């Protein structure tokens, strides 16, 4: 049969449970705005009752554990969406930079330079002829060449910048993998008593989420509480053992490509979506594509102008190549023309007013010169701009959509795992009342003891 | 499913809403500030392509307008010079009439010779007119004075090349009058009787029509049998085929346009009466040879063939249809006679090459779409058909070749004046009259070019207006709409800020005591 001491024990357990509740609410309130923190909840359970002849008598309350509230499925889904968001954003940023290099609607510098160059031929072709306009043609060609070169240089800087960012992200990735390995070790050590190491787990989940920004990962939890991180089909973190990545330059034709490989074994990694994959795609696909297209525009300009100009006859001699080179990087003006603008040919006969070559070169810049099957140089350039604008617009749209998806999942995560100050305030009142009530029971038992002792 | 509202949930939702409001506000402010709907390429990729194209077309259009301004300088100068030449020829004719009259005597004729000297000097000066250092009557050799005094004779150092100026997207027009055309030659010449332009084809460029004079881009009207007037925009047409297609499409198939069976002009077919005409005083229909009407179901246009060249196939020349293969001709001159068999000739170039081979001293050239034979000197020569093929007649070089001269007439006149030969002075008057008519013809041609330039300028100005309007529609904002949107975006952002501040103000903790 339960005595006064047993009642005291019951109340004492209630006092301790209330204290645990208050401490947990305090912890929740303290971390209400800590990134990656998941709210915690005390699990109370009734102690095993004392079985008597007339029934079971309760023996108070005990704290069964403290759990953190988290939806693992939601978290994994959010990480996947975060990986995609950062992949799109990396490409979007690079395309934004490319758009900046090409100019804007009111500052279409290469388009304007092309128009002005062809316009200078039109001016030269127009009778009454002005020989000094040959100098103007060469000057406008210089501007055009300088603009091609400036774009080439800017794209080169963008590629170098992207490579630096890829290096930095690779280092970032390695650092996070190492931190997760270390947290795995700490979690395993802390959970040997069977109780979850909630705060260490929160920190580890936060690191994994940060890792997802760089590359999409799969996470497998072991029974010992450690989490394996699988990236691009390779287990990069197994308990506290970590495999790292490195970025290397690999020779490719005249230049090189930049590749991410596993450290030591130097095996190529086909990266899953994420910032790192986005940066590599931006460099190897999007910037390269723009460069190839602009090279093609430069080549078309060089070929078509030279083809006509070499048919001409100038007062300074037979028609020479007007441009040199075969790409945006190598385009230049024939040195002979720079030294003697009289070598600019306007016609085939060399007579002063023969202007058929000049008219034909001026026509190269005209829209719809060749019908629908072949583009003029200006149209080819416009196609590049439209392609970049279309890609950027698509990526902006995808980033915006993906931000909404991530924001929505993040809000749902916050709804499930976030701290509600109202809720914690209510819990504070609840635990305080429990504590007061348990103390009152102890005071009552104390009175009963006093009554008994006064009887002696 | 009920949502658990937590501080971070509230925060993420409200911050997201605030960001959206602010982004929208910035976007509206950017549009209001720049008055542009499209600033970056990615704002509207479809519109960007159109905007760039329109900008490029506007730049080109402005170039063409500049071209017209420069072309006008050349054509106007030519016009003034031709008027001067016409006046000088009239003065020479008056002088010749005066000195061949009964009142003339040796002294007046001698004074007349001195007066003629001055007129010849003036004529030389006019024919060596230059604009910005370029001689306008020198053909394509504009860098040297074309007419020089060579002893007692005047030589022409220019060529017969035409100088073309671009006056629109698909049009060029010749701007000069090569000096040789009205100077003629000291040598005897014969020809120009038959235009040898090739048959029109769908692929014939409109700029080549009318013996290289080209066409005038613009719109035309076509009226069908019911009296419905169809407006056909031919501004961007490039080939004859384009014109045929657009007339067919523009009249919804009621009228069919085709090339005439002889290949010389256009034919419109449909239920009559049919008519084609100009819009706002243009000359497009005229330049296509169809500014006319027909009572029946067929409207036949004028000859608008292109200029032939040495590569033109004889079989492509409509006027030679009954004369192929060509036969033989006889060429006779003072003290000699020769024969040429042209039966193997396939092109005009073959004809010219074979002629030059058989008669090395003589020259055969293409001028204004016709063949012209120039003799060795001023001695006359004769060309005639030798068989039923009628080759010489068909090629337009049958008859007697005589000298066509300007300075020659002047020099002969001067010699006659000094010799006191009234009869010889009188004989120059008819030749001077013929020369005057030639110059008047050139003045008419130049006047037509001035009109064409004016019309082309009007088209370009109209085009510029249209392009600017289209550009504005694609690129610029609707100010009223942006002002309203901006105001709404500001209100929305302020509301978001207010709500956010209110929501974060209160929670249960503040009420616990």
pLDDT digits (tens, 9 = 90+) for A236-268: 999 999 988 888 777 776 666 777 787 777 777
**Residue at B36 is within a domain:** no
**Residue at B234 is within a domain:** yes
Least confident range from B155-164, B302-311, B458-467: namely: B155-164
For residue A2, what pLDDT band results from cuts at 50, 70 and 90? Answer: low
- Report whether pLDDT(A368) > 70: no
| pLDDT value of residue A370 | 43
Contacts of B4 in chain A (CB under 8 A): 415-416, 418, 420, 423
Same domain, B89 and B160: yes
Contacts of A419 in chain B (CB under 8 A): 6-8
Which one-letter DSSP state was computed for residue B162? -
| pLDDT value of residue A369 | 44
> From the list A105, A359, A378, which residue is nearest B38 (CB)?
A105
ipTM: 0.77
Q: Which helix (H) or strand (E) holds A229?
A: strand A227-231
Test B9 with A105 for CB contact under 8 angstroms: no
Tens of pLDDT along B336-379?
888 889 889 999 999 988 888 888 778 888 877 888 888 777 66
> From the list B8, B134, B507, which residue is nearest A128 (CB)?
B134
Angle at B343 between CA B341 and CA B349, to 5 degrees: 90
Contacts of B40 in chain A (CB under 8 A): 99, 104-105, 389
| pLDDT value of residue B463 | 85
**Residue at B46 is within a domain:** no
User: A129 vs chain B: nearest CA distance in angstroms?
Assistant: 7
Task: Give the integer Cα–Cα distance in Å for A6 and B448.
Answer: 125
Task: Please report the residues numbered 89 through 108 in chain A whose beta carbons come closer than 8 angstroms to any beta carbon of chain B.
Answer: 95-96, 99, 102, 104-106, 108
For residue A316, what pLDDT band results from cuts at 50, 70 and 90? Answer: low
Task: Give the integer Cα–Cα distance in Å for B279 and A313.
Answer: 43
Mean pLDDT of chain A: 91
**Residue at B41 is within a domain:** no
| pLDDT value of residue B17 | 86
Contact A293, A385 (CB under 8 A): no
**Residue at B121 is within a domain:** yes
The more confidently predicted of residues B396 and A388 is A388
Task: Give the integer Cα–Cα distance in Å for A298 and A300.
Answer: 5
Contacts of B3 in chain A (CB under 8 A): 415
Q: Which residues pair with B229 in a beta bridge?
A: B223
Same domain, B279 and B341: no
Test B140 with A106 for CB contact under 8 angstroms: no
Q: Does the beta carbon of A32 lie under 8 angstroms from any beta carbon of chain B? A: yes
**Residue at B43 is within a domain:** no
Contacts of A95 in chain B (CB under 8 A): 42
| pLDDT value of residue B1 | 57
Same domain, B179 and B65: yes
Please state, as a whole number, how many other Cβ atoms lie within 10 Å of the Cβ of residue A318.
12
Contacts of A352 in chain B (CB under 8 A): 134, 138, 140-144
Task: Give the integer Cα–Cα distance in Å for B155 and B219.
Answer: 45
Same domain, B74 and B163: yes
We report the CATH number of the domain holding residue B172 as: 1.20.1330.10
For residue A66, what pLDDT band results from cuts at 50, 70 and 90? Answer: very high
Q: Does the beta carbon of A136 lie under 8 angstroms from any beta carbon of chain B? A: no
Same domain, B172 and B59: yes
Tens of pLDDT along A127-143?
878 888 999 999 999 99
Test B51 with A105 for CB contact under 8 angstroms: yes
3-state secondary structure of A210: helix
Same domain, B156 and B85: yes
- Using CA coordinates, name the residue in chain B closest to A95: B42
**Residue at B283 is within a domain:** yes
The more confidently predicted of residues B292 and A407 is A407
Q: Which helix (H) or strand (E) holds B421?
A: none
Contacts of A111 in chain B (CB under 8 A): 52, 55-56
Structural domain count, chain B: 3
The answer to whether the predicted template modeling score (pTM) of the entire model surpasses 0.80 is no
End-to-end Cα distance, chain A: 23
Tens of pLDDT along B183-230?
655 566 777 668 888 999 998 988 888 888 788 888 898 888 887 888
Residue B329 lies in domain: 314-397
Q: Where are the alpha helices (DSSP H) in B4-148?
A: 7-34, 45-99, 106-127
**Tokens, residue B166:** 């671009």
Test A106 with B36 for CB contact under 8 angstroms: yes
**Residue at B473 is within a domain:** no
Task: Give the integer Cα–Cα distance in Å for B135 and B179.
Answer: 10
Test B39 with A104 for CB contact under 8 angstroms: yes
Percent of chain B with pLDDT over 70: 95
Same domain, B383 and B411: no
Final residue of a structural domain among B466, B487, B502: B466
Same domain, B393 and B411: no
| pLDDT value of residue B185 | 56
Task: Give the integer Cα–Cα distance in Å for A228 and A219.
Answer: 6
């Amino acid at each position: 049969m339960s005595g006064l001491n047993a009642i005291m024990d019951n109340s004492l357990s209630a006092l301790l449970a209330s204290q645990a509740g208050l401490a947990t609410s305090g912890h929740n309130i303290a971390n209400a705005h800590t990134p990656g923190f998941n709210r915690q909840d005390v699990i109370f359970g009734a102690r095993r009752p004392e079985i008597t002849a007339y029934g079971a008598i309760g023996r108070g309350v005990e704290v069964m554990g403290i759990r953190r509230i988290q939806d693992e499925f939601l978290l994994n889904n959010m990480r996947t969406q975060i990986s995609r968001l950062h992949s799109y954003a990396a490409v979007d940023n690079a395309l934004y930079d490319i758009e900046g290099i090409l100019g804007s609607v009111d500052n279409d510098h290469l388009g304007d330079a092309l128009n002005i160059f062809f316009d200078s031929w039109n001016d030269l072709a127009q009778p009454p002829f002005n020989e000094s306009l040959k100098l103007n043609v060469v000057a406008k060609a210089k501007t055009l060449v300088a603009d091609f070169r400036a774009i080439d240089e800017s794209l080169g800087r963008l590629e170098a910048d992207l490579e630096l960012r890829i290096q930095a992200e690779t280092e970032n990735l390695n650092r996070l993998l190492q931190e997760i390995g270390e947290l795995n070790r700490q979690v395993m050590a802390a959970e040997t008593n069977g109780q979850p190491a909630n705060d260490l787990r929160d920190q580890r989940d936060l690191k994994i989420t940060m890792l997802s920004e760089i590359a999409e990962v799969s996470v497998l939890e072991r029974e010992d509480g450690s989490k394996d991180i699988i990236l691009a089909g390779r287990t990069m973190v197994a308990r506290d053992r970590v495999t790292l990545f490195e970025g290397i330059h690999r020779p490719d034709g005249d230049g090189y490509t930049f590749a991410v490989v596993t450290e030591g074994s130097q095996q190529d990694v086909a990266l899953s979506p994420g910032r790192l994959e986005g940066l590599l795609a931006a460099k190897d696909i999007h910037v390269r594509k723009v460069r190839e297209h602009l090279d093609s525009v430069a080549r078309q300009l060089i070929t078509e102008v030279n083809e006509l100009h070499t048919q001409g006859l100038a007062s300074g001699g037979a028609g020479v190549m007007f441009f040199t080179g075969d790409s945006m990087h190598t385009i230049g003006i024939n040195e002979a023309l720079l030294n003697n603008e009289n070598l600019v040919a306007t016609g085939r006969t060399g007579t002063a007013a023969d202007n058929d070559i000049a008219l034909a070169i001026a026509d190269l810049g005209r829209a719809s010169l060749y019908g629908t099957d072949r583009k003029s140089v200006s149209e080819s350039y416009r196609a590049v701009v439209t392609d970049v604008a279309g890609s950027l617009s698509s990526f902006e749209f995808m980033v915006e959509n993906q931000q909404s998806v991530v924001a929505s999942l993040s809000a749902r995560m916050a709804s499930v795992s976030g701290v509600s100050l109202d809720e914690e305030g209510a819990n504070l009142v609840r635990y305080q009342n429990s504590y007061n009530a348990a103390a009152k029971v102890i005071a009552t038992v104390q009175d009963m003891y006093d009554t008994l002792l006064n009887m002696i | 499913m009920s949502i658990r509202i937590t501080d971070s949930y509230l925060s993420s939702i409200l911050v997201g809403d605030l960001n959206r409001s602010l982004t929208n506000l910035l976007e509206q402010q950017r549009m209001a500030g720049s008055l542009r709907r499209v600033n970056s390429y990615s704002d509207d990729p479809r519109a960007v392509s159109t905007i760039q194209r329109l900008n490029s077309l506007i730049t080109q259009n402005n170039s063409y307008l500049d071209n017209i301004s420069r072309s006008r300088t050349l054509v106007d100068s030519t016009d003034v010079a031709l008027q001067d030449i016409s006046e000088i020829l009239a003065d020479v004719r008056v002088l010749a009439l005066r000195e061949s009259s009964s009142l003339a005597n040796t002294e007046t004729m001698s004074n007349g010779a001195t007066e003629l000297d001055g007129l010849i000097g003036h004529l030389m000066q006019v024919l060596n007119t230059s604009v910005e250092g370029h001689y306008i009557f020198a053909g394509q050799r504009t860098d040297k004075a074309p007419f020089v005094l060579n002893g007692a004779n005047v030589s022409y150092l220019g060529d017969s090349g035409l100088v073309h100026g671009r006056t629109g997207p698909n049009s060029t027009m010749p701007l000069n009058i090569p000096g040789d055309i009205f100077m003629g030659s000291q040598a005897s010449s014969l020809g120009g009787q038959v235009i040898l332009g090739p048959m029109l084809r769908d692929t014939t460029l409109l700029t080549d029509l009318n013996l290289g004079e080209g066409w005038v881009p613009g719109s035309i009207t076509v009226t069908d049998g019911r009296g419905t007037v169809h407006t056909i925009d031919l501004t961007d047409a490039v080939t004859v085929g384009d014109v045929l297609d657009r007339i067919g499409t523009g009249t919804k198939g009621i009228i069919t346009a085709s090339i005439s069976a002889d290949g010389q002009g256009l034919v419109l077919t449909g239920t009559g009466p049919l008519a084609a005409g100009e819009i706002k005083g243009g000359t497009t229909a005229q330049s296509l040879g169809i500014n006319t009407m027909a009572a029946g179901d067929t409207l036949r246009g004028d000859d608008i063939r292109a200029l032939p060249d040495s590569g033109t196939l004889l079989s492509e020349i409509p006027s030679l249809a009954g004369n192929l293969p060509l036969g033989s001709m006889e060429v006779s001159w003072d003290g000699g006679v020769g024969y040429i068999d042209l039966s193997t000739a396939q092109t005009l170039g073959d004809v010219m090459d074979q002629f030059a081979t058989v008669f090395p001293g003589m020259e055969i050239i293409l001028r204004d779409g016709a063949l012209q034979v120039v003799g060795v000197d001023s001695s006359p020569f004769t060309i005639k058909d030798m068989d039923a093929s009628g080759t010489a007649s068909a090629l337009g070089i049958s008859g007697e070749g005589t000298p066509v001269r300007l300075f020659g007439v002047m020099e002969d006149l001067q010699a006659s004046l000094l010799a006191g030969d009234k009869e010889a002075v009188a004989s120059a008057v008819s030749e001077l009259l013929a020369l005057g008519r030639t110059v008047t013809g050139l003045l008419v041609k130049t006047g037509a070019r001035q009109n064409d330039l004016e019309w082309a300028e009007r088209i370009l100005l109209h085009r510029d207006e249209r392009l600017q309007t289209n550009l504005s529609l694609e690129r610029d904002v609707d100010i009223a709409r942006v002002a309203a949107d901006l105001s709404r975006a500001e209100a929305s952002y302020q509301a978001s800020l207010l709500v956010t501040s209110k929501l974060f103000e209160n929670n249960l903790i503040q009420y616990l005591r």
